[in-house]
Amino acid sequence: MLIQSPEILLILLFGGLILGLASGFPVAFVMLGASLIVGFLGVGPGFFHMMIMRVFETMHNYILASIILFVYMGIMLERSGAAERLFSSIHISLGGLRGGLALAVVIVCTIMAAATGIMGAPVIIMGLFALPHMLKKGYDPALSCGTICAGGTLGILIPPSIMLIVYGPMAGVSVGKLFFAAIIPGLILSALYTLYIIVRCLIRPELGPPVPREQRMMPVGRKIFMLLTSMLPTLMLILAVLGTIFFGVAAPTEAAAVGAFASVMLALCYRKLDWKVLKESFYQTMVVSSMILVIVAAAFVFTGTFMLVGGGDLVKEALLGLPFGRWGVLIIMMSAFFVFGLFMEWVGIVPILVPIFAPVLAELGFDPLWAAMLFCVTMQTSFLTPPMAPALFYIKGVAPKGVDFGRHIVRGTIPYIGLQLVGLILVASFPQLVLWLPGIMIR
């Protein structure tokens, strides 16, 4: 042991993390590098064996296998064309309303969020498919871009969210209960987005003009057929995943396997399943899930180092010693999630902060499910707030020529950040919005 002071070791650990991230190195390698150096300085050579065993223990966590299956399910749904079918059918039904196409985007993103568990795919799909259509119909570019960015990020909150799967083991909370705790907060955000679009387009109709009648004329029977064939298969897939968890038929990992199989069958029914789609889906699944799992393993090493050098006790004593009361400490923890979200994606934030804050939450007496939703809704804002803001950069990469990043994309997302804060206040003020569904789960 070369350095015995926990304070110095923590400064080196987080200083190395910040310096590495600022230098542009991958998150996993930065966490591993900082952890190994500080662990050697604070614990000695035996640290390396301890961390190797910790990584192996992490990778034996059965629930993490569901990450691969849910990622595959989301990618296969993306390839099946389900989102495009949903938008085509819903926009015909809602196109006559002011802001109808924006409402269709929110509805499609909400349904796809409950069927994929990932954030990037809905933003990219709607950016490629819906955005040109909205601009062609005279929609305001800022409203269009903001709606797609905000709606697309629902995939990281509404189950089966990959973020919640990672959060559960880090906090020692049931992933199944986290799934059902997140449903109502996710739907509240979706409802707030919908209400905002309706009110905004009523006040300023030119922002979202109705689609001309002749462009949406279709027999009622044809409309109903399109809605049924586009919505029912996806809703059945959602029921297959969440229903089996809710009724206690399967754990999240088994439910993920059911969802992965159902997504393949959906692609087959839509005649989009061939060898090329299978091969590309397998490859993309390996890339995405490997990235997530490597970061999770590195984060376990990072938090293990943090605890070994005395950081857990130090942070716990510091937070509990603050003169702000339990609510003030909770707000400070939520602020930490927000600030980290400005510079990192959730896959780096959750494994770092959750194990540090979980013991403090227990000491303060807060319900871990309710606190988890506060942290997760707080992280929702990070997808729309630069400099990180992945949703903004996703849509910039697929937006048609003429869409300006600052004037249209950034400005369009500002109202939705405000709506996310409103959703956060509602969840904080009414804990039963989070706790009701998990409380009636069939065990």
DSSP line for 293-356: HHHHHHHHHHHHHHHHTTHHHHHHHHHHTSTTHHHHHHHHHHHHHHHHHTTS-HHHHHHHHHHH
Point out the least confidently predicted range of 216-230, 256-270, 303-317.
Answer: 216-230
278 domain residue, yes or no: no
363 domain residue, yes or no: yes
Question: Residue 277: what pLDDT?
Answer: 86
358 domain residue, yes or no: yes
91, 223, 226 from 88: Cα distances, Å: 6, 10, 8
Q: 242-288 pLDDT, tens per residue? A: 888 877 777 788 888 888 888 888 888 888 888 888 888 888 888 88
196 domain residue, yes or no: yes
298 domain residue, yes or no: no
166 domain residue, yes or no: yes
Tell me which residue of 238, 196, 207, 234 sits closest to 90, measured CA to CA: 234
Angstrom distance (rounded) from CA 88 to CA 129: 10
Helices and strands (H, E) in the chain, number of each type:
21, 0
Angstrom distance (rounded) from CA 361 to CA 76: 38
Q: 363-411 pLDDT, tens per residue? A: 888 999 999 999 999 988 877 887 777 788 888 888 888 888 888 999 9
Tell me which residue of 18, 325, 259 sits closest to 118, measured CA to CA: 259
Range of the domain at 199: 64-273+310-439
CB of 43 within 8 A of CB of 309? yes
- The number of domains in the chain is 1
Angstrom distance (rounded) from CA 164 to CA 66: 11
178 domain residue, yes or no: yes
pTM: 0.85
194 domain residue, yes or no: yes
Angstrom distance (rounded) from CA 402 to CA 124: 17
89, 193, 312 from 85: Cα distances, Å: 6, 22, 50
Question: Residue 185: what pLDDT?
Answer: 94
